[in-house]
Amino acid sequence: MIGIVDYNAGNIRSVELALLALKVEYRISKKPQDLASVDRLIFPGVGEARYAMKELKSTGFDSFLKDWAASGKPLLGVCLGSQIILDHSEENDVPCLGIVPGVVRKFPDSFRARGLKVPHMGWNDITYHNGGSALFDGVPEGSNFYFVHSYYLDPSDGAAITATAEYGMSVPCAIKQGNVEAVQFHPEKSAAHGLRVLANFCGLKGRA
C-alpha cells in the first residue's frame, strides 16, 4: 500500500492519477494516523515553503515525516516535497524538516541577465551521478522529465546527488539518503519515464 501525504500543497490529483495508471493500491489522507500502516510514502507538493511548513506543523505531518524517515521505510519527496525535506529554504528564510542535511537555494539573479527564465519550467534531460539510483532502473540516462521550480536542492553531502539537469548550471534534481529519495521534477507529469520512476518506487519492476 502506497500512502500520499495531503497537506493542502497541491499536485495530489496528478500523483493519484499516475498511481491509478500503474494500478497501485494507495491511500491519500490529511491525517498522519491514516498513513501509519502503509508500506511506502509519497510526499508531493507545489507552492511556497513557508505555507507548506505551516500546513505540515498544523496537521502533525512534520513530526510524522521525520519519524517515518527514521523508521527506515521508503519515502519519496516530489517537487516542493523534495525541497522541504532539507534543513532550510532560502524562500522567505524558512526552517524545513531537516530529514536530509542541506539548503534549498534560489536560482541566481544573474540567470535573467543571461536570458534564462525563472522559474525553470519545461522538459530537461537528466544525467546520473554517484551511480544513480534504483529509482531510475529502466530509465536511460538523458531521458527528459518535466520541471517547474525557482529554487533548487543543495544537499550538504554531494554523494547524495543521484541525478542532475543542466539549466544555467548543474542542478541537482534527484537525491538519496538511505531510505529517503527525492526528485525535483514531476514524475507524475513526465510521461512514460516518470511512470517508470514511480513504478520503481512502488516496487513494480517492469510494470510501467
- In the structure grid, which three cell numbers stand for residue 23, read together? 494500478
The CA distance from 80 to 185, in Å, is 10
In 38-196, where do the E strands start and end?
40-43, 75-78, 88-89, 94-95, 102-106, 120-128, 144-149, 151-155, 161-166, 170-177, 180-183
Helix segments in the chain, DSSP class H: 12-21, 32-35, 49-59, 61-71, 80-83, 110-113, 191-201
Active site residue 202: no
Segment holding 203, helix H or strand E: none
Catalytic residue among 55, 91, 181, 188: 188
Instruction: For residue 25, indicate whether it is catalytic.
Output: no
Instruction: Please tell me which residue in 96, 186, 193, 202 is annotated as part of the active site.
Output: 186
What is the arrangement of strands in the sheet containing 102-106, beginning at the earlier edge strand? 94-95, 88-89, 102-106, 151-155
Which triple of cell numbers denotes residue 16? Answer: 493519484
186 is catalytic: yes
Cα separation, 139 vs 143, in Å, equals: 7
- Write down the catalytic residue from 79, 96, 173, 202: 79
Q: Which sequence positions are flagged as catalytic?
A: 79, 186, 188
